[in-house]
Amino acid sequence: MTPDEARAILLEELSNIAPEWDPAEIDPAEDIREAMDIDSMDVLNLVIALHKRTGVDIPESDYVKMITIEGAVAYLTAKSGG
Amino acid sequence: MPSLGSDMEAGTLVEWLKRPGENLRRGDVVAVVETQKGAIEIEIFQDGILEEYLVDIGQTVPVGTPLARVRGPGEAAAAVEEAPRAVAEPVATPLPMPVAPAPSALKAAVTGMPASPAARQAAAERGLDLAGLSGSGPGGSVVLADVEAAAPVAAQVPRKAGGLDLDGMRKAIAAAMSRSKREIPHYYLSHDIDLAAATSWLERTNAAREPAERLLMGALFLKAVALALTKHKAFNGFYGDGGFTPSEAVHVGAAVSIRGGGLVAPAIHDTDQLDLDAIMAKMRDLVARVRAGTLRSSELADPTVTVSSLGERGVEGMYSIIYPPQVAILGIGKVRERPWIVEGEVAPRPLVTMTLAGDHRVSDGHRGTLLLNEIDRLLQEPEAL
């Protein structure tokens, strides 16, 4: 998965979870939980959706790496073998 | 029109899902009603036959207004109000399904006030009653200019999120909480709970699970609270005109916040009987449906107690206001690492502050202490939850 592919999937799933926001307008370095008012249930639903879409295994201990858009893109790219 | 919580005064019928003549079973969804909390599916609480609609689609009626006539098993048709005909007609004749009229025609029928379609729409957007306006159009009908003159600010369109009317919800919350603070003598207790056992159990459990099967700490909180309430009954039930009636069933209302403001606390029925996976599935389902504005009437009307959890971005503690006619609400702060004394040594531990707001007409601080201590004890043995 290229970073662009990872970003496209991430933004699509983020907008499913928080349709009130346009994730393309969120600062990629900002904590999405703050920027998009996302709670732990939303984070879990995001992880479930990303796991389903990409097959990437995201253990609970790695959730902290997923809390910014740029962090999540880097994580998904690396874990999918780039 | 059922009461879907003490903060509801009226509802608008938007859809019938059963036709006159149809057999109804307890729990069937018969209609959809629009409230500030979204489009609520109304369930029937008895078996019977739908005999007649009493409210039209589009009508807004106060809580307590009968929506339809239902004949119970073995009852004569229309026995309640039309006894003479009932004898002659043992089986109710099905009525044709009403076709939803165009909104403008409907409003005319409701208000009886002649008005142009643009005026009706503008009045509806502003929440104005056409009957209260003076018309300058032909035959005294209300035209758009009359509406604009009565309410010049066009910014009064309610903010919507999904099917939710956020401004209406804020007003409803204000009304319910004001009533609570006026009528309920609250007392507050606070207790810090060491979650080391629960946290490590949860980490071990989730490490072996696919994401879709993982649990959140919130599920453990709900189960522990529900189990504790089965022993401490003075916090689970309703306070009405005749005083407090404890509930045998524990239906925990789990507060779900809505982006953009507002919250709803729908019931997880029989929380004490469910395992953690089932509670987790219910939480996931309720969060999705609260935000989409598609709850069921029993979920809004049935909570016997409320649990409000701030989640990982919260603060340490929260002192909540009881949601009448309930008599208790538990507030759960964020889990955070703090120095704690464990066996005489200072050690970092994950702690959560749990607060109880209790109704002094029903219980006192001593009993509240026992409840919080019981919840603490249950959370020390997460594998038993």
Do A20 and B260 count as a contact with CB atoms less than 8 A apart? Answer: yes
d(CA A82, CA B106): 60
CA angle, B153 then B157 then B159, to 5°? 135
User: For residues B197 and B71, which has the higher predicted lDDT (pLDDT)?
Assistant: B197
B210:A51 CB<8 A:
yes
pLDDT exceeding 70 applies to what percent of chain A? 99
Per-residue model confidence as pLDDT tens digits over B241-276: 999 999 999 999 999 988 878 889 999 999 999 999
Contact of B201 with B216, CB cutoff 8 Å: no
Burial class (CB in 10 A: 0-12, 13-18, 19+), A23: buried
pLDDT of B135 reads 78
Per-residue pLDDT, B82: 36
Cβ of A37 within 8 Å of Cβ of B311? The answer is: no
Report the pLDDT value the prediction gives residue B92, as an integer from 0 to 100. 37
Spatial CB neighbours of B370, under 8 Å, sequence gap ≥ 6? B232
Measured between CB atoms, does A37 come within 8 Å of chain B?
Answer: yes
Give the per-residue pLDDT at B188: 98
Residues of A in contact with B218 (CB under 8 A): 40-41
Chain A residues within 8 A of B203 when measuring between CB atoms: 60-61
Instruction: Give the separation between CA B22 and CA B49, rounded to whole angstroms.
Output: 6
Q: Are B359 and B184 in contact (CB under 8 A)?
A: yes
Domains of chain B: 10-88 (2.40.50.100), 103-157 (4.10.320.10), 185-384 (3.30.559.10)
- Cβ pairs bridging A and B (under 8 Å): 41
Let me know how long chain A is: 82
- Residue A32 with chain B: CB contacts under 8 Å: none
Split at pLDDT 50, 70, 90, the class of B196 is very high
CA distance A3 to B274: 42
Q: By mean pLDDT, which of B24-28, B311-315, B377-381 is the weakest?
A: B311-315
CB atoms within 10 A of CB B172: 21
Rounded CA-CA distance B337/B62 in Å is 49
Average pLDDT over residues A35-49: 90
A58 close to B (CB below 8 A): yes
Identify all chain A residues contacting B259, using CB atoms and an 8 Å cutoff.
18, 20, 37
CATH number assigned to the domain comprising residue A35: 1.10.1200.10
SS3 B238: strand
| pLDDT confidence bin for B96, thresholds 50/70/90 | very low
The per-residue pLDDT for B156 is: 43
The predicted-structure confidence for B3-19, as pLDDT tens digits, reads as follows 887 778 888 898 899 99
For residues B335 and B350, the answer to whether their CB atoms sit within 8 Å is: yes
Give the per-residue pLDDT at A5: 94
**What pLDDT is recorded for position B302?**
94
* Average pLDDT, integer, range A35-61: 91
Write the pLDDT tens digit of every residue in B174-192: 989 999 999 999 999 999 9
Which of A14, A31, A36, A39 is most worth mutating to test chain B (most B CB atoms within 10 A of its CB)? A39
- Residue B6 corresponds to which tokens in the numbers above? 């003490």
Residue B162 has pLDDT above 80, yes or no: no
Asked if B216 lies within 8 A of A33 by C-beta distance, the reply is no
Amino acid at B290: V
Total-model pTM? 0.76
**CA A21 to CA A26: how far, in whole Å?**
8
Residue B197: Cβ-neighbour burial (10 angstroms; 0-12, 13-18, 19+): middle
Best probe of the B interface among A60, A63, A66, A67, by most B CBs < 10 A, is: A60
Chain A nearest-CA distance from B207, in A, is 7
Domain that holds residue A32: 3-79
The domain tally of chain A equals 1
What pLDDT score was predicted for residue A59?
A: 93
The answer to whether the CB of B330 falls within 8 A of the CB of B354 is yes
Per-residue confidence at B221, pLDDT binned at 50, 70, 90? very high
d(CA B10, CA B276): 36
pLDDT average, residue stretch B139-147: 74
Looking at the partner chain, which of B206, B259, B311 has a beta carbon nearest the beta carbon of A40? B311
Of the pLDDT bands very low, low, confident and very high (cuts 50, 70, 90), residue B155 is: very low
Q: What residue in A sits closest to B204 (Cα-Cα)?
A: A60
Instruction: List the single residue in A with minimal CA-CA distance to B261.
Output: A37
- Measured between beta carbons, the chain B residues lying within 8 angstroms of A37 are 259
- Measured between CA atoms, the residue of chain B closest to residue A34 is B313
ipTM: 0.89
Task: Check CB contact of A48 with chain B, cutoff 8 Å.
Answer: yes
Find the Cα–Cα–Cα–Cα dihedral B227, B232, B236, B239, rounded to 10°: 180
Segment B32-90, tens digit of pLDDT: 888 877 778 898 888 899 989 999 888 899 888 999 988 888 776 554 443 333 333 33
Could A44 and B214 be called an inter-chain contact, meaning their C-beta atoms sit closer than 8 Å? yes
* Chain B touched by A64 (CB under 8 Å): no
Asked if residues B191 and B354 have their Cβ atoms less than 8 Å apart, the reply is yes
Optimal mutation site among A14, A22, A44, A54, interface B, most CBs of chain B within 10 A: A44
